Structure 1
């Protein structure tokens, strides 16, 4: 990542921390921690995002714009940050406007399940950091990705049960686990697992389901 991009990432982070003093955007308020757990952590998945096909990038459950904004700046991709908390997205949008980034990075406060109305099969790559169980994420991502598109999931802790739960229904939603990588942040303590699912086929069921069902009633393999 070039110096200019790095400086822009720092400016964005500083503005988020300033806004956070008034509105709760992130639980991390210490600048050193924010550098580690927002900027550095966001860029852990950069190799996987770069491996995805060219095209539109979406960050699901983006919160204060992480990992979406650092990845957008590092890759140069057209980007949509998605979070249903309108207040957060309004603040993020105002910071993007101020930094002159809004022609590249847009925000949406739609529910993920409502996005396919406008963006069905439009995304080349999606990220989700600490958002939901893998089984729910692959269901939510499938209608948004075009064939060959990738979902890059960031996990602090992931069990083999969670992975198997997703793999058991991946055929149903037209997704396939294609890579898994462990990473350690520069504090030598914080571990991350990056899992990548590829959209390989059309879903065998009608997606999206109703808002909330992916989390409340996760799909089960069909007998």
Structure 2
């Protein structure tokens, strides 16, 4: 299964071994807690690992230092990006403590000492000075519609940085409804980048959002307000 990564990305044998370790830990832990509905090796390598690394098609990760993965779940896209680009200062944020504990186990197994694991809600953590407008790139994978996701993520992005939203095949409607939110949130602009996964395993869209200005402290609002009254 490594061939799907090896053919598309320049990875060393040690990096490919790290992906194998990650896969083993993911499948083992998934037996006792719900991390992913996808466990077959080929599907995990394509739909999770390969898919996570498609970010490299729209941004040069060699130029990036700090990355935040919001709502990381089982560690996508953050952990695959850290394996492929060891220089990244990665922060993984999730609202469920047991998922954070799993990610810490993965980091320990892979020998990482420069990854930050944060248990909490994005709307609360974004108000903390250590995290607000701190990151070069903030990524999130299929968490919410863009006008909602932007309010969760853009407060973390430094001015001049990018938010990366990894979405499924149909984004036309939500992209048409997000322009006001992006303008309010840092006069941000966006681009849509479609792609197809190998082995006919699906179509994807990567949304890149460029943040132009600082965001007022009143954003993000409380989670219930964001969902009930999107910008």
Match of 1:11 in 2: 21
Q: What is the total number of aligned residue pairs between the two structures?
A: 218
Relative to structure 1, is the Cα distance of residues 47 and 105 closer, same or farther in structure 2, using a 3 angstrom cutoff?
farther
Pick from 56, 64, 71 the counterpart of residue 61 of structure 1. 71
**SS of structure 2 residue aligned to 1:208:** coil
Residues 192-211 of structure 1: pairs in structure 2 closer than 5 A: 192-203=204-215, 206-211=218-223
Deviation per residue, 1:157-189 (Å, 9 max, x gap): 333220011112211111423322111111124
Give the structure 2 partner of residue 78 of structure 1: 89
Q: For residue 205 of structure 1, report the CA deviation from its aligned partner.
A: 7.1
**Alpha-carbon distance in 1 for matches of 2:11, 2:84:** 8
The residue that corresponds to 1:91 in the other structure is 102
Rounded Cα–Cα distance in structure 1 between residues aligned with 2:154 and 2:187: 7
In the superposition, the TM-score normalised over structure 2's length comes to: 0.87
- CA distance in structure 1 between the partners assigned to 2:44 and 2:65 by the alignment: 29
DSSP 3-state at the match of 1:151: strand
Q: Is the 8 A contact 1:53 1:149 kept in 2?
A: no
CA contact (8 A) 2:191 2:208 kept: yes
Give the TM-score of the pair, scaled to structure 1: 0.90
Quick one: distance in 1 between partners of 2:99 and 2:125? 18
Deviation at 1:202, TM superposition (A): 2.1
Contact 1:175 1:197 in 2 (8 A): no
Q: Residues 105 and 65 from structure 1, CA distance in 2 versus in 1: closer, same or farther, beyond 3 angstroms?
A: same
1:104-115 map, 5 Å? 104-115=114-125
